[in-house]
Amino acid sequence: MTETTTPVVEVSVGALAPAEVVAVTMRGAQIRLSDESMTAMTESRAVIEALVDDDKPHYGVSTGFGALATKHIPVDLRSQLQRSLIRSHAASSGAEVDREIVRGLMLLRLSTLATGRTGVRPSTAEAYAGILNAGITPVVREYGSLGCSGDLAPLSHCALALMGEGEVRNNDGVLMDAADALSAAGLEPVELREKEGLALINGTDGMLGMLIMASADLHRLLKIADLSAAMTVEGLLGTDAVFAEDLQALRPHPGQKTSAANIRAVLAGSPLINEQRPEGFTRVQDAYSVRCAPQVHGAVRATLAHVESVAGYELASAVDNPVITLDGRIESNGNFHGAPVGYALDFLAIAVADLASMSERRTDRFLDPARNHGLNAFLADDPGVDSGHMIAQYTQAGIVSELKRLAVPASVDSIPSSAMQEDHVSMGWSAGLKLRRAIDGLTRVLAVEILTSARALDMRDGGVEQAKTSKATTAARQMIRAVVAGPDTDRYLAPEIEAVRVLVDSGALLHAVDEVLDTPLQ
C-alpha cells in the first residue's frame, strides 16, 4: 500500500498562491510558519513592546477602538482591552457559514500576521496555525461583517476560539466549546497582549477567501460551459463553422480564443456535425446562445482574469490598522477597506449570471419542436403522456432568475457605523456570500444543460453504444449514462439532475473528457 502524506503549505512573508489557499481551505493541507516570518514577527513585536510605556497615544495599543479611539487605556487594562474587543465584536448572527469559508478567513489572517507588519507575538501566530492544523473550525454566522475595518465579526469569532471561548466544530464536525476542543487537540488558550486583538480582526480575509475559492470553481465551470455548449451544438445539429480559428482571430480577446478552441476540440470528428455538410453545405448560422458561446464565455474568462489580478494584489498585502512599517513606525491607514475585493466579487457575480442565462437558453431550444430540428417536444418519450425535461428547464429558469437578483451589486450599498467614524463601508462579505450562492446555481444550470443534451443525443443516434458524436462528447455521455439511465418514459427527475451536478462539481465529468482529448480543455 502506498502511504500518502498530508501536504504542507508554508506561510511566509511572501504572498500565498491561490492554489495554496484552496489546498488549506478545501483539502485540509497543514500550515507551517516559515523561519522568515517568525523573524519578521519577532522584530515587529519589539516595536509594540517599546510603546507600552509611551505617553503618546497609539491606536489599538494604548487607546480604545473606532469612535472610542480618543480614550486612553492604562497599562494594567490593556490585556482586558484586547479581550473585550474580541468578545464584543464576536457578534455574528444567522446561519453558520461553510467550514471552508472559516478556514480561508483564518489562513489569510495568518498570512498577514506572518508579514511582521501587525505586531503580534510569534507564539500567537503559531497558536492560530495550530487551530487550523487541528481542523478546529470556529462557528461563524452569516451576518456581522460590513466589509470595512476588516471582516470584524467573523474574524472575532476566530480570535475568540484562540482565547478558548465561544463555539467551534472539531475536525469531525462536532459542535463543542472552544476550550474543550483546544484541550482535546493539545492546544492552550492564548491570553492576548497589546495590539493583538486588533491585529486578529482587522482584515479583508473572509471576502478574499471567498473570491479565491469562487475563482477556482469558475475555472472548472468555464470548461464545463464550453463542453455543454459543444454538446448542444451536436444535439441541435448545429454548425461548427462559426468557431473556426480564423474567424475568432478577427476579434482577438484571449478568453474568446480559448473558449472557441475548447468547443472545436470537443466537436472534432463528430459524425453528427459532418452529416450536416452534404456537398459542402453548412447551416448558415445558429441562434445567438449557440453561435456566440465563445464571445460570452470568453468575456467571463476576461472578468475572471481581472478578478484574479485583484486577488493577487490582496494576497501580497499586509492589511491591518495600525500597521508597523518596514522602518519601524506604527501608523494608522485605510488599507482594511474592502472596496477592491467587494467590486471584484460583484463583477464576477454579474458574469456568472450571464453564463448561466446563456446555458438556460440553449437548453430551452432542445425542448421546442419548432427549434430542436426533429426531436420530440420536451424530449418526452411520448409527448402528452410524458413531459420529458419540461420542468428541468423550469428549474434552470428559477435558478437563472435568482442569479440575476444575486448579480445586483452589494458594494454599491453603505450603512454608516461606529457613531459615524466608519461612515463608508464595502459590504464585501455580503458580496462574497452571494457569489458563492451564484456559483452553486451556475453548477446546477450547467448540469441540467448537459443532462438535456445527453438525452437529445441519445434520441438522435439511439444511445451511447452506437454513438455518432465526437469522442469527447461520447466520453461525457458514457460518464452520464453510468449514473443516469437513457431516454424512456418519465422518471423521478430530481435525483438525475443531482447525479450530473455531482459529476460537474467533482470534476469527474471534465476528467473523463480530458482523458480522450490530445490536449485537455483550457
Active-site annotation, residues: 59
The span from the first CA to the last CA of the chain, in angstroms, equals: 34
CB 277 within 8 A of CB 229: no
Question: How far is Cα 12 from Cα 116, in angstroms, rounded to an integer?
Answer: 10
Question: How far is Cα 324 from Cα 332, in angstroms, rounded to an integer?
Answer: 9
Question: How far is Cα 115 from Cα 113, in angstroms, rounded to an integer?
Answer: 5
From 143, 142, 177, 144, select the one nearest 161 (Cα to Cα): 177
Question: How far is Cα 20 from Cα 205, in angstroms, rounded to an integer?
Answer: 15
Q: Which residue in the block uniquely carries the three cell numbers 474568462?
A: 301
Report the 10 Å Cβ neighbour count for 187.
19
Q: DSSP H helical segments within 268-389, as ranges?
A: 271-274, 288-291, 293-315, 339-367
Secondary structure of residue 417 in the 3-state scheme: strand
DSSP letters spanning 208-264: HHHHHHHHHHHHHHHHHHHHHHHHHHHHTT--SGGG-HHHHHTS--HHHHHHHHHHH
The amino acid sitting at 391 is I
Cis check for the bond before 7: say yes or no (omega within 30 of 0). no
- Residue 139: phi and psi, rounded to 5, are -80, 120
The amino acid sitting at 199 is A
Q: Which contacts of 514-522 are long-range, i.e. CB under 8 A and separated by 24 or more positions?
A: 515/475, 516/471, 516/472, 516/474, 516/475, 517/265, 517/266, 517/471, 517/472, 519/265, 521/223, 521/226, 521/227, 521/262, 521/265, 521/266, 522/223, 522/258, 522/261, 522/262
CB 235 within 8 A of CB 456: yes
Instruction: Report residue 116 as a C-alpha cell.
Output: 511582521
Rg (CA), the chain: 27
Question: How far is Cα 225 from Cα 446, in angstroms, rounded to an integer?
Answer: 7
The H or E element spanning position 471 is helix 471-481
Instruction: Report residue 297 as a C-alpha cell.
Output: 464565455
Secondary structure of residue 385 in the 3-state scheme: coil
> Under 8 Å CB-to-CB from 516, ≥6 apart: which residues?
471, 472, 474, 475
